[in-house]
Structure 1
Amino acid sequence: MNTAAGTGVEVKPQNKSPRHRARELVMQGIYQWRVSGTDAADIQQHMEGEKNLGNYDKAMFSRLLRGVLAQHVTLEELLVAHLDRPLDDLSPVEYAVLLLAVYELSQQLDVPYKVVINEAV
Structure 2
Amino acid sequence: MASEKKRKPSRSAQRRAARQLTLQALYQWQISGNSMHQVEAHIRAALPDDSLEEHEDISQVLKIADLAYFHEMAQAIPEQLDELDEGFASLLDRRTEELDPIELALLRLGSYEMIHRIDVPYRVVINEAVELAKRFGGTDSHKYINGILDKLAQKFRSVEVRAKRS
Class of the TM-score when normalised by the shorter of the 2 chains: 0.7 to 0.9
Structure 2 portions without partners, runs of 5+: 1-9, 49-58, 131-166
What is the match of residue 103 of structure 2? 94
In the alignment, structure 1 residue 105 sits paired with structure 2 residue 114:
yes
- SS of corresponding position for 1:17: helix
Figure out how many residues of one structure are paired with residues of the other and give that number.
107
- 1:1-121 to 2 correspondences below 5 Å: 17-52=13-48, 53-54=59-60, 55-121=64-130
User: TM-score, with normalisation over the residues of structure 2?
Assistant: 0.62
42-51 or 94-103: which moved more? 42-51
User: TM-score, with normalisation over the residues of structure 1?
Assistant: 0.83
What is the alpha-carbon distance in structure 1 between the residues aligned to residue 34 and residue 15 of structure 2?
Answer: 23
What amino acid is aligned across from residue 118 of structure 1 in structure 2?
N
What is the alpha-carbon distance in structure 2 between the residues aligned to residue 31 and residue 103 of structure 1?
Answer: 15
1:29-56 per-residue CA deviation (whole Å, 9 max, x = no partner) reads 1111111111121111111111242221
| Runs of 4+ with >4 A deviation | none
- The higher-RCO structure (CA 8 Å, 6+ apart) is 1
1:62-103 per-residue CA deviation (whole Å, 9 max, x = no partner) reads 001111111011111111011011111101000011110001
37-46 or 24-33: which moved more? 37-46
What is the alpha-carbon distance in structure 2 between the residues aligned to residue 119 and residue 38 of structure 1?
Answer: 26
Identical aligned pairs, as a percentage? 36
More helix by share: 2
- SS of corresponding position for 1:88: helix
